[in-house]
Amino acid sequence: MRRGSVGAGLLLAACLALSVALVRRTDEQRAATARDEVLYLHSPALLRRLSLGHEGLVADLYWTRAVQYFGMRHHARKGTFPLLDPLLEIATALDPKLTVAYQFGASFLSPPPPDGAGQPEKAIELVEFGIRHNPEKWRLFYNLGFIYYLEMKDYARASEAFGRGAKVPGAHPFLRVLAAQTAEHAGEVETARLLWETTLESSTDPLVRENARTHLRGLQ
Amino acid sequence: MPVIEILGLEKTYATGLFRKQRKHALHAFTLEVYEGEVFGFLGPNGAGKTTTIKLLMGLVFPSAGSARILGLSIGDPRVHAYLGFLPEQPYFYDHLTARELLEYYAQLSGMEAKGRARRICEVLQRVGLDGSAETALRKFSKGMLQRVGLAQAILHNPRVLFLDEPMSGLDPLGRRELRLLIEELKAEGKTVFFSTHLLADAEALCDRVAVLHAGRLRGVGAVCDLIGDAGRVELVWRGRNPVAMRPLLLETHISGELVRGVVPEAAQEEAMKILRCASLPLVSLTPVRTSLEEYYLRQTQSEAPPQEVRA
Amino acid sequence: MTVLTIARSTFREAARDRVLYSPAVFAVLMTGAAILVGQVSIGIERQVVINLGLAAVTFFGVIVAILVGTGLVAKEIQKRTLYTVLSRPVERWQFVAGKFVGLAGTLAINGGLMGLGLLAALRYVSPGFSGADAWVLVAVYFILLQLLMVCGLALLFSTFSSPLLAGVFSFALFVLGNFAQELRDVAQSGAGWVHRLMVGATYLMPNFSAFNVAAGVAHGESIASLLILHNSIYAVTYTGMVLCAAVLAFEWRELQ
Ligand SMILES: Nc1ncnc2c1ncn2[C@@H]1O[C@H](COP(=O)(O)OP(=O)(O)OP(=O)(O)O)[C@@H](O)[C@H]1O
Ligand SMILES: [Mg+2]
């Protein structure tokens, strides 16, 4: 019963070749028209229901999508990131304990283009949401103060954020120093240096450390 | 012309989790079945009967060797137009009624639309299902399914029939009907190849039988030869068992007055003389014939090398 | 002829399996739910009905495609109903082709009914014919094409694994099909043979990225006729490829 095998094999090869060609064409067209990505579902509440009890997993997926979205557009030098905030919002709403999403999300959202989305207000909203759900994470206060200081140039709020963070049990002792420094020496190069040095010292993430090093080099 | 020619057919199954072990289901064997024969395929459980039939039907593929049916290789789809097949423990689409199932099979067999409905009624009647033609097969009993299986096997008037344990599941009446059916098929000139455990049926129906044991062909022969003269006679007499008789006897059985003894054919005269001398009255003298059962047991129990009997 | 006979019988079996109707009923219920949602929110009834309706058609369509695709084929192998079919003048490729045609017909009718239900719901929320309704039908057509591919996959997996495994495999590929493009993007960003192998694998998966037009259609966007042609050809070639693979697998399959 293996008489048809040769015919089936040939037809299979032909179909495979044609379908690969068609898929490549789709890919090319997509690159040419560069239609923006679409976010099909905007409502975290709906997504929560659709995730059938696995919000954590869906949140992780959306966080990954956010990272990829940012990475791809950043790489392509697009300059705008319209879906970044909604993606982050969904990810964090589904899983408010997803602290990486606040920390890195804020650093994607706040810097001006092309390094970030240039939406520091959105970043602040995001981190504030994170603080409400994770008041024990001193690092979120640190992120918040950072955005106020560097992107918004709102030194009073920055100092306040560092101050609130310093009260969190187990907080890094530098937060207290930062609170004072930002209040008294607002806008000085020394303060900025201190901020980046703290980042460099307190973080273990190689990307974050590299970024801090770059900024420190720039301040010299 | 042989209708079925099996030439060194062999089947090895790969078993085990990683398909590393090999299971020799069937060792190479050669067999011919001729036109118009009713051929019995005998052997204990696991002997390889079903495997052989599945190989012939192209459901599994031989590891070595080949086979031809009606001169066509078993891989040739044309051959299927002339075959009828009843699988072991048949199972059918149970959402269909018996009539719908047969209609479907008739179409698949390429039967003309014209005579189809009539032929289906005829076949249903022949297997005794005309009363249940419109019942869904889901509601059929085991024996009824077996009958449906028979119906679909003979539906398209095939030249060669392969029946895998056709008697199983049938009631005594059903068995008798099936025996009649097979005899009718033979009378119509069809070739019937069937496997069975029922030696009495094989003895009554078959022209020739083959005995398979543990995947090896142990013997093939015409039934009339196999169950022929055993070279022994049975004597029954009244009274006692004389001492002089004892060395001659192969078997003795005493019940009340009667003594039953079996002696070799060569010793028949001597035994009679002894009885006459002892003036013991002889009741009967009959030559012993081997039954198929004895032949079967000899082939399947002895560890002796397989015996080839050519018919 | 043989192929059509098998197709007709397959269709009949699916139709008699009442499991098949429940998803259609369910889809109608979903659409009913959409109408309720539409009444609660303002101004986006059409959008909600289209989005939810198309999602329901996809969801239930995929379930039916996989259930009938694996159920009818793997079951025939497992229950040995095939023995008496294949001992007739039926070639194995004819069996695969016939099964597929029957299943495709079942899916088309099932999907078509759901599509009609969706149109009816649309008529309910926005009376009067709108040209955009045609695009909704095209979206349903695209879903049907996806279902055919999934059904082909279910059939392929049925030829060499159990019904349950075949169902799991085909569902996994349906999900992957929606991510195939992203996966390829990720794979293409790297180098080396692992990445090349991954890119190759994404070509073997169904690529559904061009088929998901629900969001656009919900906003009343039109669909380029070139895309319709392109997707149709792709669905046919992909399904053809999968069916050839199924024929090959089945020709070599021993029915034990
Ligand atoms: N799919 C399979 N995989 C492995 N071994 C198998 C397979 N099918 C059959 N066998 C083995 O092949 C041998 C022959 O089996 P077969 O079914 O042909 O026996 P049989 O003569 O029909 O027995 P029965 O009288 O019980 O029906 C058995 O030992 C069986 O274990
Ligand atoms: Mg058997």
Amino acid, single-letter form, for residue A201: E
**In terms of pLDDT, which residue wins out, B153 or A217?**
B153
pLDDT at A31: 59
Q: Which atom of ligand 1 is nearest to the CA of C256?
A: 1
- C182 and chain A in contact, CB less than 8 A: yes
What tokens were used for B178? 């099936």
* Statement: residue A162 has pLDDT above 50: yes
Which residue has a Cα nearest atom 27 of ligand 1? Answer: B45
pLDDT at C95: 92
CB contact under 8 A, A11 and C203: no
Q: Tell me the CA distances in angstroms from C16 to A203, B93, B136, C11, C13, one per residue in order.
A: 64, 12, 12, 9, 5
Residues sharing a CB contact under 8 Å with residue B210, sequence separation 6 or more, in sequence order = B31, B39, B40, B41, B42, B217, B219, B220
Q: Which residues of B touch C (CB under 8 A)?
A: 13, 54, 57-61, 77-78, 80-81, 83-85, 87, 90-93, 95, 104-105, 107-110, 149, 152, 156, 162
* Statement: residue C31 has pLDDT above 80: no
Give yes or no for residue B15 CB within 6 A of ligand 1. yes
- Residue A37: pLDDT band (50, 70, 90) is low
- What mean pLDDT is reported for chain B? 86
Rounded mean pLDDT, A77-87: 82
- Chain A nearest-CA residue for B76: A1
Side by side, the strands of the sheet bearing B160-164 are B83-86, B160-164, B191-196, B38-42, B208-213, B216-222
Length of chain B as a residue count: 311
* pTM of the complete model: 0.75
- Residue A35: pLDDT band (50, 70, 90) is very low
Mutate which of C11, C17, C84 to test chain B, going by most B C-beta atoms within 10 A? C84
Q: Which atom of ligand 1 is nearest to the CA of B15?
A: 4
- Residue B311: pLDDT band (50, 70, 90) is very low
How far from the centroid of its chain's Cα atoms is residue C63's Cα? 9
pLDDT at B234: 87
- Residue C171: pLDDT band (50, 70, 90) is very high
What whole-number distance in Å separates Cα of residue B69 and Cα of residue B21? Answer: 31
Q: Tell me the CA distances in angstroms from B113 to B117, B133, C179, one per residue in order.
A: 8, 19, 50
Which ligand approaches the C-alpha of residue C80 most closely? Answer: 1
- Residue B219: pLDDT band (50, 70, 90) is confident
Question: DSSP assignment, residue B64?
Answer: E
* Statement: residue A1 has pLDDT above 80: no
- B73 and chain A in contact, CB less than 8 A: no
Q: Are B48 and B65 in contact (CB under 8 A)?
A: no
Rounded mean pLDDT, B23-42: 91
- Domains located in chain B, CATH noted: 2-226 (3.40.50.300), 229-289 (3.30.70)
Note the pLDDT tens digit of each residue in A94-118: 888 888 888 888 888 888 877 788 8
- Which has the minimum average pLDDT: A24-33, B291-300, C173-182? A24-33
What whole-number distance in Å separates Cα of residue A208 and Cα of residue A46? Answer: 34
Ligand 1 centre to CA of B52 (Å) is 9
* Statement: residue C146 has pLDDT above 90: yes
Domain residue limits at C22: 2-252
Candidate CATH numbers 3.30.70.890, 1.25.40.10, 1.10.260.40, 2.40.50.140; the one for domain A55-219: 1.25.40.10
Three-state SS string over B237-254 comes to EECCCCHHHHHHCCEEEE
Give yes or no for residue B63 CB within 6 A of ligand 1. no
What tokens were used for C216? 């656009």
- Residue C23: pLDDT band (50, 70, 90) is low
Q: Number of structural domains, chain C? A: 1
pLDDT at C43: 59
* Statement: residue A50 has pLDDT above 70: yes
Ligand 2 centre to CA of B24 (Å) is 15
* Statement: residue A30 has pLDDT above 70: no
CB contact under 8 A, C209 and A30: yes
What whole-number distance in Å separates Cα of residue B271 and Cα of residue B251? Answer: 13
Q: To the nearest 10°, the Cα dihedral for B260, B265, B269, B274?
A: -30
**In terms of pLDDT, which residue wins out, C123 or A101?**
A101
pLDDT at C19: 63
In three-state secondary structure terms, B304 is: coil
- Residue A32: pLDDT band (50, 70, 90) is low
- Residue A142: pLDDT band (50, 70, 90) is confident
CB contact under 8 A, C181 and A12: no
Give yes or no for residue B25 CB within 6 A of ligand 1. yes
